[in-house]
Structure 1
Amino acid sequence: MELNKQDIAKRFCALSVEKQKAFLNTLKERGIDFSLLPIVRQSLENSPILSYAQHRHWFLWQLDPQSTAYHLSGVLRLLGKLNAEALQASFQALVARHESLRTVFRANAGGLPEQIIESEGKFELTMISLCDLPAEQRAQRARDEAMRINATPFDLTQGPLLRVALIQIATEEHHLVVVMHHIISDAWSNRIIIDEFAACYRAHIEGEPLLLPELPIQYADYAQWQRNWLEAGEKDRQLIYWRNQLGAEHPVLQLPTDYARSSNSSYRAAQHDFTLPDSLATRLQCQAQDRGATLFMMLLAGFQALLHRYTGQSDIRVGVPIANRHRAEIENVVGLFVNTQVLRNTIDSR
């Protein structure tokens, strides 16, 4: 009797590490690509391993536990009557739904980090009222409070790694501040949280059942699958590919900065916003279409040409974040899936 892919994946997950290696060899001999097997739920008898991206953030946090460089934060302005109890219940429902939002990280006896998924997530909604302040001072005070909340370091070993505060500006105006550590979330996850929060809040207000589709897997299941997938031969294939693409030398751009490059990362930066005229944006889109390219490709080429102009170097490499959500099982899962991909271009100044 032949096993279907779901059965094969479940059988694989039930094996010990050594038996998994032998099983992978059997799959190869039978011409079965491990990457085509579905991601299935893992047993939580043992603490789940970290994904490679989480491992990187764990390492960086250990180097500097007070750093806030990897905080993901946002503020939603809410107008109209607000039900704080429904808001609290909505976030509690999200914590129950997504294991990532109730996960902490600790080293085991061997010094290796593990995910600790708490059965009941600790969620507390912080309430701040600015109604006693003069009206002209409230907006700035709200910004200051949001910055303070974001600037408070997370302890990855204790959690919670989700922080939510409700700042009341007036009777029918509130600012909802949401801060998470990057080790449990990414920009795509933020969109999931906003959409599902809105659905939860609406259901509570209207007294209707919450109709969110059941999640097929959780992030810890993906972390284990990723490890198995790479160990099944994908890691070697990707190493060969990227070594061929990037080579052995990795030149640093010699930008003509006002100050010398620091040996330590301060993570201090500034942001400059500007708007392209509609006419220029339309021309860029047309140029991209004429060349069978996307607008992103056009803008990246322009940025790399600018870096070439500044530095005189022809080998330009730019790190670009990619969503890394290439499987249906993880489309609606909160977690750290994003990855940075190096895009290399050789500029010919002629």
Structure 2
Amino acid sequence: EHHEHTAIPALEKRAHYPLSSVQKRLYIQHQMEGAELSYNMSGLMILIGELDRDRFEAALRGLIGRHEILRTAFEMVDGEPAQVIYPEVDFALEYWQADEEKARELAEGFVRVFELDRPPLLRVGLIGLERNRHILMFDIHHLVSDGVSTGILIDDLLRMYTGENLQPLRIQYKDFAAWQQSEAQSERLKKQEAYWLDVLDGELPQLELPTDFARPPVRSYEGDVLDFAIEGRQSEALQQIADANGATLYMVMLAAYTVLLHKYSGQEDIIVGTPVSGRTHADTEPLIGMFVNTLAIRNYPSGDKMFLTYLEEIKETMLGAYENQDYPFEELVEKVQAARNLSRHPIFDSVFVMETREDRISRFGELTVEPYIEARTVAKFDLTLEVTHEEEGMSGHFEYATKLFTRNMIDNFAEDFLTILSKICEQPHVLLKDLALNGSPEQEEDLLEAIDIVF
């Protein structure tokens, strides 16, 4: 949704520039103990075909020349972090030749801590497995990139590798960061602020899921992932529920997820975080940078509501949130968070993400691209559910904090989530309290009550 019609102005050259709201938060979080690697965005893919290494490295240098954010350092200026843009930076493509086993070792060691004052906050590596088979490794700091940026980065790189001349960019990320904090924007954001302060009025609920281990005093970023699949027939049925109720599949899945959290926590006031691309201004479309904003979605899943009634509420909530999606989450935290709790994330501990799998790259010029599966060990939140909409159905995965949950517990979550989905497909009018699950504590309470009655 593009609200803006006035162009973002290009700034005159300066020694340093302000950080955007989200960069300020990431900069602070990067300094926290244990968080050093949790904002590295890394990816691996296998390239099949003849790769011209010199041309590839030249394209990477061209990419760094094109996007100032890839030549940006984060330095303290008068006690505040600032962006400093270098005209040139040292960059070399890292290269090894190795067999599959050694390659796995190299890939595991490739993601390393970035020094924020030494650009580029990007490293790229190639492992030659055979003459026409390479593993391409990317590691980039979230301060200078996001999910959409990764697509732009690969696209620009491919076009440069194949010799295309790209139109120069009219503005750069630093222009967006300054514009975001301009007076005209402040006026607009004041109205959005009022919306969010109303949504998050009163005491904010803390999600209390049953955990296998006591919560550590300082939040840990150690994590793991559990994958599961939602079959095509069920995906279609869920899409039909969305269509019949003027909602989106995202809204149906968020409703189901918050019902799961309600069943496990017994709570009827639950806040879940959800990311939005943050690119509501058309001028930001070709830029690499960190634009993502996070919305705090407050839900009220109580047992006596019908699922469809609850879905209608979520629809209204999401429409309001989208209309006010430019208000930076960081500023919201400062306004509403009473006490900072180092063992939790501000405002919410659980996140829901839904993506469409159109963006998987399968060709790079003459080369074929295949995914390279690697283990992930970072969890930024207690629990994140990520659902990907694919041609033949949906795939889901839970990213979870291993200092709180065992894999067995997350297995229960996944099973029960699938149970909720199949029950709402069969009976969309079901009352939330009548959705019976296998592993949730609510069932045990019902059982205990039944035992009390017997004796």
Displacement of 1:101: 0.6
The residue aligned with 1:213 is 167
Distance 1:289 1:231 in 2: 35
The residue aligned with 2:338 is none
Q: Secondary structure at the match of 2:29?
A: helix
Distance 2:136 2:46 in 1: 6
The residue aligned with 1:182 is 142
The residue aligned with 1:129 is 97
Tell me: CA distance 1:101–1:259, structure 2 relative to 1, closer, same or farther (3 Å): same
Displacement of 1:66: 6.9
Tell me: CA distance 1:250–1:143, structure 2 relative to 1, closer, same or farther (3 Å): farther
Q: Secondary structure at the match of 1:276?
A: strand
The residue aligned with 2:79 is 111
Does residue 79 of the first structure (1) align with residue 61 of the second (2)?
A: no
The residue aligned with 1:341 is 295
Does residue 289 of the first structure (1) align with residue 243 of the second (2)?
A: yes
Report the residue type matching 2:131 in the other structure.
Answer: T
1:109-168 superposed Cα distances (whole Å, 9 cap, x missing partner): x211111101013211001111xxxxxxx3233232122111x10000123201011111
Distance 2:35 2:290 in 1: 20
Contact between 2:15 and 2:84, CA under 8 Å: does it hold in 1? no
Q: Secondary structure at the match of 1:273?
A: strand
Report the residue type matching 1:253 in the other structure.
Answer: L
Displacement of 1:213: 2.8
Residue of structure 2 aligned with 1:161, choices 121, 134, 137: 121
The residue aligned with 1:148 is 109
Distance 1:161 1:232 in 2: 30
The residue aligned with 1:271 is 225
Displacement of 1:81: 1.2
Distance 1:194 1:58 in 2: 25
1:216-269 superposed Cα distances (whole Å, 9 cap, x missing partner): 210000000001157632343232211101113221111011111222121111
Unaligned 5+ runs, structure 1: 1-33, 131-137, 204-209
Distance 1:236 1:284 in 2: 37
Alignment of 1:236-251 (within 5 A): 236-251=190-205
TM-score by length of 1: 0.83
Q: Secondary structure at the match of 1:256?
A: coil
Contact between 1:65 and 1:155, CA under 8 Å: does it hold in 2? no
Contact between 1:98 and 1:334, CA under 8 Å: does it hold in 2? yes
Q: Secondary structure at the match of 2:224?
A: coil
Report the residue type matching 1:124 in the other structure.
Answer: A
Residue of structure 2 aligned with 1:92, choices 53, 61, 77: 61
The residue aligned with 2:254 is 300
Contact between 1:99 and 1:218, CA under 8 Å: does it hold in 2? yes
The residue aligned with 1:6 is none
Contact between 1:35 and 1:229, CA under 8 Å: does it hold in 2? no
1:43-70 superposed Cα distances (whole Å, 9 cap, x missing partner): 1224111111111111122334871000
Contact between 1:51 and 1:226, CA under 8 Å: does it hold in 2? yes
Residue of structure 1 aligned with 2:273, choices 310, 316, 319: 319
The residue aligned with 2:398 is none
Displacement of 1:300: 0.6
Distance 1:319 1:254 in 2: 15
Distance 1:222 1:298 in 2: 34
TM-score by length of 2: 0.64
Does residue 170 of the first structure (1) align with residue 130 of the second (2)?
A: yes
Distance 1:168 1:250 in 2: 52
Q: Which has the higher strand share?
A: 2
Residue of structure 2 aligned with 1:52, choices 21, 29, 34: 21
Report the residue type matching 2:170 in the other structure.
Answer: P
Contact between 2:34 and 2:220, CA under 8 Å: does it hold in 1? no
Q: Cα RMSD over matched residues?
A: 1.7
Unaligned 5+ runs, structure 2: 305-455
Distance 1:64 1:57 in 2: 13
Report the residue type matching 1:198 in the other structure.
Answer: L
Identity within the alignment, %: 36
Distance 2:56 2:140 in 1: 17
